[in-house]
Amino acid sequence: MLANKQQTTISGKINIAEYLEGELVAEIKHELVDGQVYAMVGASGNHNYISENIYRKFGNHLEYINIPTLEEYVIIEQDFVDITVYQKRDDWRSTHYFLEETIHFKSIDLALSVEEIYHRVNNEDMIEFLTKKEELDHEGE
């Protein structure tokens, strides 16, 4: 276990520097919570799809943009469709986004639909959304 490989403080907790040093050589990733180290579970397929979608869209867009400070913080649920965006310019209040909505990431001037972010994700919300979308497409034919 990672905590056994590192020196601990008198209280049995490790500091951030010790945690980061251990992560450099750890075979699995961990999280540090109140000085205690916990192994993190592996990422799910949905997590990987969301990460790939965001990485691709943001990466292409950010190639020439420099952002000096944190302006937006985003939490994307993987088991259901819900994206929470906190923006510094809005006093870090949360705004939730759902299917059929578009998020405008103001700090990088990029707009993405929730559907783009959840592309290929397999959860109940997406299955229901895609089924309804397909039914509407067939009605229009």
Domain residue limits at 29: 2-39
pLDDT recorded at residue 22: 86
Q: Are residues 55 and 117 in the same domain?
A: yes
How many whole angstroms separate alpha carbon 131 and alpha carbon 137?
A: 10
pLDDT recorded at residue 4: 39
Query: pLDDT under 50 in the chain at which residues?
Result: 1-10
pLDDT recorded at residue 79: 94
What is the pTM assigned to this prediction? Answer: 0.67
Q: Are residues 62 and 79 in the same domain?
A: yes
Q: Going by C-beta distance under 8 Å and a sequence separation of 6 or more, which residues neighbour residue 58?
A: 108, 110
Q: Are residues 103 and 124 in the same domain?
A: yes
- Residue appearing with tokens 């994307």: 76
How many whole angstroms separate alpha carbon 23 and alpha carbon 53?
A: 26
Q: Are residues 67 and 52 in the same domain?
A: yes
How many whole angstroms separate alpha carbon 123 and alpha carbon 98?
A: 14
pLDDT recorded at residue 80: 96
pLDDT recorded at residue 29: 81
- Residue appearing with tokens 């397929």: 45
- What is the per-residue DSSP string for 77-137? -SSS--EEEEEGGGTT-EEEE-TT-EEEEGGGTEEEEHHHHTTT--SHHHHHHHHHHHHHH
pLDDT recorded at residue 141: 72
